[in-house]
């Protein structure tokens, strides 16, 4: 069985904005192994959500995807696929806002059973049994009673568990998570993160988790990709990326996060704004805000380059970060 589950090469997403074509995702390449949790961090507008959604073709009307996406549907190596063929057959997605993502006119049990009934051909009774089994799996108390309730009758945390159960109902190999804990309280968020990690261990499914919250990604993910202005600027094992960034943007981002250790130091922050997709300049897109920028940064060809095992950065002067 091939270890590789997903391969994305040179992904480009173009969107229509005010009659002009912009490219908010511009040349993203990444790979994912079976059972791996990959985090994609980035600030609003960095293209992280579009990257995630493009895997299932869930993009705004009028957008176009270019690039090579391959997914290992069976035990074979990854192969090109059409989004419709894998949605529900190997890839599921979980959204941020469980209230708007769950159909309000369906009872919880029917919602969870819908996937297995369509994709696996279960009848009504089998579907109900499967729904209750899944609700137990994701830790919903009183599944029999709750399966007859409506989405609006559940709390935010339970709704998110229902969405996870729905996503798991078709036994996916890959679950895409689009900020699924952002709307939740910390205690509930912690439970959901624990649940995702536990499910990964038990079911050996891979997860791509998109979030703006570095602290959350640091806890959950095996590998972390940092996105800036539509491109991945750094990728590597989570702990290494956080502790020893190889890209100035990553470093600046990390020094903006309030640490849980008390420090009297001021947070650093990043001066300026990310560039607008309408005016992406050649060269490194972070250069105008970068404290280490050199003349060639604005002209050099950009690409993710491996700097050590498993680690890659797009910075052409990563040595500037660690003067030694």
Among positions 8-67, residues that touch another protein (CB under 8 A) are 43-44
Among positions 168-207, residues that touch another protein (CB under 8 A) are 185-191, 193-195, 197-198
98 binds another protein (CB under 8 A): no
- Find the binder of another protein among 12, 97, 213, 222 (CB under 8 A): 213
Nearest distance from C-beta of residue 187 to another protein, angstroms: 4
Q: Which is nearer to another protein, 118 or 215 (CB)?
A: 215
Q: Which is nearer to another protein, 73 or 183 (CB)?
A: 183
Nearest distance from C-beta of residue 242 to another protein, angstroms: 8
Q: Which is nearer to another protein, 134 or 242 (CB)?
A: 242
Q: What are phi and psi of 234, to 5 degrees?
A: -155, 145
Nearest distance from C-beta of residue 90 to another protein, angstroms: 25
Q: Which is nearer to another protein, 14 or 238 (CB)?
A: 238
Q: What are phi and psi of 108, to 5 degrees?
A: -50, -45
d(CA 106, CA 150): 7
d(CA 11, CA 47): 11
Among positions 104-143, residues that touch another protein (CB under 8 A) are 141
Q: Which is nearer to another protein, 8 or 242 (CB)?
A: 242
Distances (CA, A) of 133 to 21, 113, 125, 165, 317: 46, 10, 12, 9, 53
Q: Is 271 exposed, middle or buried, given 0-12, 13-18 or 19+ CB atoms closer than 10 A?
A: exposed
DSSP at 297: G
Q: Which is nearer to another protein, 77 or 141 (CB)?
A: 141
Among positions 215-274, residues that touch another protein (CB under 8 A) are 215-216, 218-220, 239, 242, 252-253, 255-263, 266-270, 273
Candidate ranges 112-120, 144-152, 153-161, 297-305; the one touching another protein (CB under 8 A): 153-161
Distances (CA, A) of 199 to 33, 132, 288: 16, 16, 42
d(CA 32, CA 207): 9
Distances (CA, A) of 29 to 60, 67, 122, 205, 304: 21, 9, 38, 21, 9
278 binds another protein (CB under 8 A): no
Nearest distance from C-beta of residue 227 to another protein, angstroms: 12
Nearest by Cα to 318 from 289, 297, 295 = 297
| Contact indicator for 13, 23 with CB cutoff of 8 Å | yes
Torsion over CA of 247, 249, 250 and 252, rounded to 10 degrees? 120
Nearest distance from C-beta of residue 205 to another protein, angstroms: 17
Nearest distance from C-beta of residue 204 to another protein, angstroms: 18
152 binds another protein (CB under 8 A): no
Nearest distance from C-beta of residue 309 to another protein, angstroms: 21
**CA within 13 Å, CB half, 173:** 17
Q: What are phi and psi of 114, to 5 degrees?
A: -55, -50
- Find the binder of another protein among 16, 155, 294, 322 (CB under 8 A): 155
291 binds another protein (CB under 8 A): no
Q: Which is nearer to another protein, 78 or 236 (CB)?
A: 236
What length does the chain have? 324
Residues that bind another protein (CB under 8 A): 43-44, 141, 155, 157-158, 185-191, 193-195, 197-198, 212-216, 218-220, 239, 242, 252-253, 255-263, 266-270, 273
């Amino acid at each position: 069985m091939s270890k590789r589950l997903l391969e994305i090469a040179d992904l480009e997403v173009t969107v229509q904005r005010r009659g002009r074509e912009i490219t908010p995702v511009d040349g993203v390449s990444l790979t994912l192994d079976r059972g791996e949790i990959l985090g994609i961090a980035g600030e609003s507008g960095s293209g992280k959500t579009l990257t995630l959604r493009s895997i299932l073709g869930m993009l705004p009307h009028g957008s176009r995807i270019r690039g090579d996406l391959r997914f290992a549907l069976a035990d074979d190596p990854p192969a090109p696929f059409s989004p419709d063929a894998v949605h529900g057959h190997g890839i599921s997605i979980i959204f941020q806002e469980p209230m708007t993502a769950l159909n309000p006119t369906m009872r919880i049990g029917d919602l969870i059973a819908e996937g297995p009934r369509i994709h696996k051909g279960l009848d009504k009774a089998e579907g109900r049994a499967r729904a209750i089994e899944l609700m137990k799996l994701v830790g919903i108390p009183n599944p029999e009673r709750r399966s007859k309730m409506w989405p609006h009758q559940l709390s935010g945390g339970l709704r998110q568990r229902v969405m996870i159960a729905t996503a798991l109902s078709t036994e996916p190999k890959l679950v895409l998570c689009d900020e699924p804990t952002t709307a939740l309280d910390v205690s509930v968020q912690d439970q959901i993160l624990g649940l995702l990690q536990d499910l990964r261990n038990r079911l050996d499914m891979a997860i791509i988790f998109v979030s703006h919250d570095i602290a959350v990604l640091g806890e959950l993910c095996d590998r972390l990709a940092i996105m800036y202005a539509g491109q991945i600027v750094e990728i590597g094992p989570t702990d290494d990326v956080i502790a020893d960034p190889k890209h100035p943007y990553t470093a600046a981002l990390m020094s903006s996060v309030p640490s849980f250790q008390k420090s009297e130091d001021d947070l650093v922050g990043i001066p300026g704004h990310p560039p607008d997709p309408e005016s992406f300049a050649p060269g490194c897109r972070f250069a105008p805000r970068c404290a280490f920028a050199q003349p060639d940064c604005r002209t050099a060809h950009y690409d993710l380059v491996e700097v050590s095992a498993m680690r890659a950065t797009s910075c052409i002067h990563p040595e500037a970060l660690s003067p030694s």
